[in-house]
Amino acid sequence: MIAEPGRPRTEVHARDRRQDTEFATVADDYLLGRAQPEEQRLQRQINDLGPDSAAQFDLIGISPGEQVVDLGCGPGGVLHLLAERVGPAGSVLGIDRSPHFVEQARRFVAGRGLSQVEVREGDAYDTRLPRSAFDGAHMRLVLVNVPEPERIVREMVSLVRPGGWVASFEADYLPHTCDPPLPAWHRLLEAYKAYSMAHGIDLFVGRRTHRMFREAGVKDICVVPVIHVYPPGHDRRPILRDFIGNLSGRLVKEGFLTQRKIDEDMAALESHLSDPKVLVTSHLFYRLWGRMPL
Ligand SMILES: C[S@@+](CC[C@H](N)C(=O)[O-])C[C@H]1O[C@@H](n2cnc3c(N)ncnc32)[C@H](O)[C@@H]1O
């Protein structure tokens, strides 16, 4: 177990024994679901987005020995990249709401022998971790999938000590498109947007993360965006298909699309994506970091 910053590593806290239900401070209206295909997508994401996150961490300048936290770590996320930077003398605490992802993440770090990483089940809206106690806090691709992102940002910022760093990697759906255009792509994406909006989820949150972190008290904010194109065979080329697959039951149940329409459009999308002449442009990712005032 990793010690909470400022406490000895061997101490066991009452909080560690709390039941999952105590963490449910906001309804878990998480957009992507946590079924097996999403778990597999997140496993691939560890490598797919690793270089972009590693470059961000190098720019932040994370030091050996730091105690850092990653909110919404999923089945692995960036835990290994943070662990490399803080080294064996530091610590990384990964938090996720899904017990299954927590289990997966524990396996991921154990498989790499990263004893400085601990993964705990918890709610990013209310982590119940000590305030102003971490040297740094990071979160990747959580805000674009949840309602009330400002609350999570405030919680995350409150965990970092004066002079510590705060970092975010967040998506914005603005450029995510294919060319030549495809009516089925457009229909599926519009339904996805409508569902998200109806559930208070902002698919364009990336562009305003700078504002949310500034309003939460973060200073010296730097923003470095990144965008990709996904060639045939790239893991993320079919990401719209994957997201619709995660959500299809809920889209039908809540009347956004019929199952028949989803099936037809997904087949058209699949065929379009298999055409090497089709260019798929990624989301726009906003990589942001800053410091807590001294
Ligand atoms: C898109 S995944 C990103 C995972 C990882 N950060 C990465 O970049 O690969 C979002 C993660 O946030 C988690 N999550 C969603 N809402 C949460 C909350 N309120 N508290 C903690 N984790 C949450 C989900 O369970 C999921 O693992």
Rounded average pLDDT over 68-83:
98
Strand runs (DSSP E) across 103-255, as ranges? 117-121, 134-140, 160-172, 177-179, 219-226
| pLDDT tens track for 215-252 | 999 999 999 999 999 999 999 999 999 999 999 999 99
Of 38, 142, 151, 159, the one to substitute when testing ligand 1's pocket (max ligand atoms within 8 A of C-beta) is 142
Per-residue pLDDT, averaged over 288-292, amounts to: 98
Q: State residue 16's pLDDT score.
A: 36
Query: Going by CA atoms, what residue is nearest to atom 17 of ligand 1?
Result: 97
Q: What is the pLDDT of residue 37?
A: 83
pTM of the model: 0.91
Q: Is 75 in the pocket of ligand 1 (CB under 6 A)?
A: no
Would you say residue 19 has pLDDT above 70? Answer: no
Q: In a 3-state reduction of DSSP, which class is residue 244?
A: helix
Residue type, 253: K
**How far, in Å, CA of 194 to CA of 255, rounded?**
11
pLDDT (tens digit per residue) in 250-271: 999 999 999 999 999 999 999 9
Give the pLDDT mean for 178-195: 97
Residue type, position 1, single letter: M
The string over 260-291, giving b where at least 16 C-beta atoms fall within 10 Å of a residue's C-beta and e elsewhere, is ebbeebbebbeebbeeeebebebbbbbbbbbb
Amino acid at 239: I
Check if 82 has its Cβ closer than 6 Å to any atom of ligand 1.
no
Which ligand 1 atom minimizes the distance to the CA of 46?
Answer: 9
Does the pLDDT value for residue 287 go beyond 70? yes
What the block records as the tokens of 248 is: 């299809």
What is the 202 CA–ligand 1 centroid distance (Å)? 15
Q: Which atom from ligand 1 is nearest to the alpha carbon of 75? A: 27
Q: How far is the CA of 286 from the centre of ligand 1 (A)?
A: 17
Q: Which class is domain 9-171+201-228+286-291?
A: alpha beta
What number is the average pLDDT over the span 173-177? Answer: 96
CA atoms of 30 and 286, how far apart (whole Å): 20
Q: What is the pLDDT of residues 25-71, one digit of tens each?
A: 677 777 877 788 888 888 888 889 999 999 999 999 999 999 999 99
**Backbone phi, psi, residue 66, to 5°:** -70, 155
Q: How far is the CA of 219 from the centre of ligand 1 (A)?
A: 25
Task: Report which of residues 30 and 272 the model is more confident about.
Answer: 272
Question: Two tokens at 199?
Answer: 């559930």
DSSP string for 105-126:
HHHHHHHTT-TTEEEEE-BTTB
Domain ranges of the chain: 9-171+201-228+286-291
- Quickly state the pLDDT bin for 272 (edges 50, 70, 90): very high
Please tell me the distance from the alpha carbon of residue 174 to that of residue 155, in angstroms, as a whole number: 27
Q: Could you tell me the CA-to-CA distances from 172 to 167, 179, 208 in Å, in that order?
A: 16, 18, 9
Distance, CA of 105 to CA of 80 (rounded, Å): 10
**Residue with token string 């010296």:** 220
Mean pLDDT of 107-132: 97
Given a cut of 70, is residue 91 above it in pLDDT? yes
- Report the chain's mean pLDDT, rounded to a whole number: 91
Instruction: Look at 2-16, 118-132, 202-216 and tell me which has the smallest mean pLDDT.
Output: 2-16
73 lines ligand 1 (CB under 6 A): yes
